[in-house]
Structure 1
Amino acid sequence: MAKIVPFKAVRPARDKVSLVTSRSYDEYSPAELASQLDYNPFSFLHILNPAYINLQKASAETRFKSVRTRYEEFKHEEILNQEDAPVFYLYEIQSKNQVYSGIIAGTAVEDYQNNVIKKHEDTLEYRVEYFKDYLHQTGFNTEPVLITYPENLALKKWISTRKHKRPVYLFSSLNRDKHTLWRIKDDAEIDWLQQQFAGMKSLYIADGHHRSASAELLYEQDKASGNENLNYFMSFLICETDLKIYEYNRIIRDLNGHTKKQFLTALAKDFTVENKHMELWKPEKKYQFGMYLDGEFYALKLKDTNFSSVREALDAQILYNKVLEPLLAIHDLRNDERIEYIPGSKPITAIKEIIDSGDYQVGFILFPASIQEIKELADNNLIMPPKSTYIEPKFRSGLVVYEL
């Protein structure tokens, strides 16, 4: 039984929303960040990275306090405004090839702790602690946890019908995506939405494992304050059939001392290896892997597909067990500097270009994991290998803010 709650969100003034919202801070190159900060005085990036040159060497606490100060300035200038009463939102992202629709709401830390909200990725303690401190010092969060729910026909029909009403925002971002936001403030609609989610046995985190873990840690640290906002964290809830799950592809700097011939021979022990030459080949189904090596593409097809658990049957785990660890001596997928990850949303020509440049020697292209695999892992308290999935949609910073 899942619990969702409306909240008194802070969001941009209607006439400035396209200028305020931004991609996630980490997605900007230094040059892009500098450009945004120099030429767009309304960008939420001014809050996330105030005085971006002068604060580079400041302590975390000093930076976080500066973020809080800049956030309050945006509110004072009425670039950002707070709702008068708690609300839900219906949010749609329309890209060139996909439409994503979901509910923005507060989800319960208690549900996270009781495994009603289920996880499939491990977290790094230092990142959880760091973001907990960020939330504590700044007092707000603008990047919701992406949570998926089982298909619900009544909710699907409601979403379709609700889109015919006037939105509070309708704007396009620079990547040509169209964004539409509807405010759900009617008590009857709010109650009905809560009932729909109360009937769901489980929800699943698709993206945002560190953010949800930080919210729990902050709750445990500060719950004695009596601040009820700490009991929840902002989430973007989307039906599992509407998610787009990409793979994370791998590029490796060297062959661990193997010659090309030796490496291909070693691969042939577990895979059928087919040279595709210059064909831009991608896996067509599970247990297939693409490889780019020495200017040519290869199709690797696993010979033995009998596994005792869903985790061992994951393509990312198979690649690690059969290739990365035994042949290339990649033991630590998070920290080994010889491996990098390319999201499957990028074309495989990006992998070819990087390897052709000479900094990396071999690349592997995986088949995306399915939502069924993700749910089965979560249901069995199993964890995916690092960088197994790249999931869309991605939320825009500054569109909706949850205050703590």
Structure 2
Amino acid sequence: MGLVPVTEPGDRRLLRHEAVRPGRADLLTRHLLEVGMSSSPISLTYRTDDVLDAAIAAGCADEPVLEADGDGIHQTVWALSGEAAEALIVAMGDRPLYVTDGHHRLAAAVEALHRNPGIDGNHPLRWTQAVLFPDAEMQVLAAHRRVGDRTGRSAEDLIAALSRVGHLAPCADITEARPDGPGAVGIYLAGQWFSMDLPAASGDRAVDRLDVSRLQDSILAPVLAITDPGSDPMIDYVPEPVGIDSLVERCDADRRIGFVLHPTSVAEMMAVADEDGLMPPKSSYFEPKPRSGVFVRRLDREGLGA
């Protein structure tokens, strides 16, 4: 946990993989500039190694300065200073950092800089609050899709349309329909479960090979006319922690189709970011992430303009 430099998109120090909504970023920018505080750090990950793991372990050998519980999450905080902090900085080196949560907060920090030209390199706005987790300790969960058919086709017609994309295999329940690896999708439609192998990727970029992209390119766009999954009201998202029961209940309530995905891996996300690609909205749900309010940053305590 610490401060990282605010960088423009394309800067190889902080690699993004998700598009941002301008309205949301503007709201966060105004909050940062008017309130002068932040309580939700950006979450980052990185490719770890034994040297860095050892430096972190050494820093966590003493008693923690804070332990907090909430929402079933236990959070422990150690403070590093002096030689321990310097060893960690050296071990981290200049390896790239990958954003796992907080693309809009990072975009807001960039915009705050744009609105304050001429500030020097030590100004607090040139830095943003971030927490770093090693890639080996990241847990990636799927964000499932719930999609409506704007043409109002019957369940039979929708099944026929999906069957023209690939073989729909009837399943007894979600346990049978849930993908046990990449390349497949579980489908819930009108009280029935199916599984389908996704068609091949439409391109050779890392982002094209993602299951979420293959679903978008082969089913959501051509069959259900979802061309802008970030803003189309006919699609919403149910993260894995919310549960499949909730997905089913919501689909039954308004006759929507549920798509259950295998989670995107950390390695897949990194490959997309390395190519400066952008993943479809809600391609993954990363844990861990610190709860808001555990770390509060006040810009006025950092000597504005110092």
- TM-score above 0.5: yes
Shift of 1:211: 0.7
SS at match of 2:271: helix
Indicate yes or no: 2:80 matched with 1:216.
no
Equivalence for 2:100: 206
Deviations 1:207-250 (CA, angstroms, capped at 9, x unpaired): 11111111111123225344621111011011011111112111
Is contact 2:56-2:88 (8 Å) kept?
Answer: no
Alignment-mate amino acid for residue 331 of structure 1: T
Separation of aligned partners in 1, 2:145 and 2:286: 16
| Bigger Cα displacement from structure 2, 316-325 vs 109-118 | 109-118
Query: RMSD value over aligned CA atoms?
Result: 2.0
Is contact 1:255-1:263 (8 Å) kept?
Answer: no
SS at match of 1:222: coil
Equivalence for 1:178: 74
SS at match of 2:79: strand
Equivalence for 2:61: 164
Of 337, 345, 365, the residue aligned with 2:241 is: 345
Identify if the C-alpha distance between structure 1 residues 124 and 157 changes in structure 2 by more than 3 Å, giving closer, same or farther. Answer: same
Alignment-mate amino acid for residue 32 of structure 2: L
Equivalence for 2:12: 115
Deviations 1:315-367 (CA, angstroms, capped at 9, x unpaired): 111111111111112222122212110012232122112223x2242110111
TM-score, with normalisation over the residues of structure 2?
0.90
Separation of aligned partners in 2, 1:305 and 1:383: 16
Deviations 1:279-315 (CA, angstroms, capped at 9, x unpaired): 4331111110001111111111125457422222211
Separation of aligned partners in 2, 1:366 and 1:219: 38
Equivalence for 2:262: 367
Separation of aligned partners in 2, 1:190 and 1:326: 53
Separation of aligned partners in 2, 1:113 and 1:287: 30
Equivalence for 2:272: 377
Equivalence for 1:315: 211
Identify if the C-alpha distance between structure 1 residues 143 and 225 changes in structure 2 by more than 3 Å, giving closer, same or farther. Answer: same
Is contact 2:13-2:97 (8 Å) kept?
Answer: yes
Equivalence for 2:38: 141
Alignment-mate amino acid for residue 333 of structure 1: P
Identify if the C-alpha distance between structure 1 residues 171 and 222 changes in structure 2 by more than 3 Å, giving closer, same or farther. Answer: same
SS at match of 1:204: strand
Alignment-mate amino acid for residue 3 of structure 2: G
Gaps of 5+ in 1: 1-103
SS at match of 1:353: helix
Alignment-mate amino acid for residue 171 of structure 1: A
Separation of aligned partners in 2, 1:306 and 1:384: 14
SS at match of 1:271: coil
Identify if the C-alpha distance between structure 1 residues 216 and 304 changes in structure 2 by more than 3 Å, giving closer, same or farther. Answer: closer
Identify if the C-alpha distance between structure 1 residues 383 and 151 changes in structure 2 by more than 3 Å, giving closer, same or farther. Answer: same
Separation of aligned partners in 1, 2:2 and 2:200: 44
Gaps of 5+ in 2: 300-306
Identify if the C-alpha distance between structure 1 residues 318 and 402 changes in structure 2 by more than 3 Å, giving closer, same or farther. Answer: same
Shift of 1:110: 4.2
Separation of aligned partners in 2, 1:151 and 1:137: 37
Alignment-mate amino acid for residue 289 of structure 1: V
Percent of residue pairs identical: 26
Identify if the C-alpha distance between structure 1 residues 149 and 111 changes in structure 2 by more than 3 Å, giving closer, same or farther. Answer: farther
Equivalence for 2:283: 388
Is contact 1:274-1:299 (8 Å) kept?
Answer: yes
Alignment-mate amino acid for residue 395 of structure 1: P
Shift of 1:162: 3.2
Equivalence for 2:193: 297
Shift of 1:167: 1.0
Equivalence for 1:263: 158
SS at match of 2:285: strand
Is contact 1:252-1:360 (8 Å) kept?
Answer: no
Indicate yes or no: 2:140 matched with 1:245.
yes
Shift of 1:397: 1.7
Identify if the C-alpha distance between structure 1 residues 136 and 288 changes in structure 2 by more than 3 Å, giving closer, same or farther. Answer: same
Equivalence for 2:180: 284
Is contact 2:13-2:94 (8 Å) kept?
Answer: no
Is contact 1:311-1:382 (8 Å) kept?
Answer: yes
Is contact 2:142-2:240 (8 Å) kept?
Answer: yes
Alignment-mate amino acid for residue 20 of structure 2: T
Q: 1:16-31 counterparts in 2 under 5 A?
A: none
Identify if the C-alpha distance between structure 1 residues 138 and 153 changes in structure 2 by more than 3 Å, giving closer, same or farther. Answer: same
Separation of aligned partners in 2, 1:288 and 1:181: 39
Separation of aligned partners in 1, 2:135 and 2:103: 17
Alignment-mate amino acid for residue 220 of structure 2: L
SS at match of 2:237: strand
Equivalence for 2:220: 324
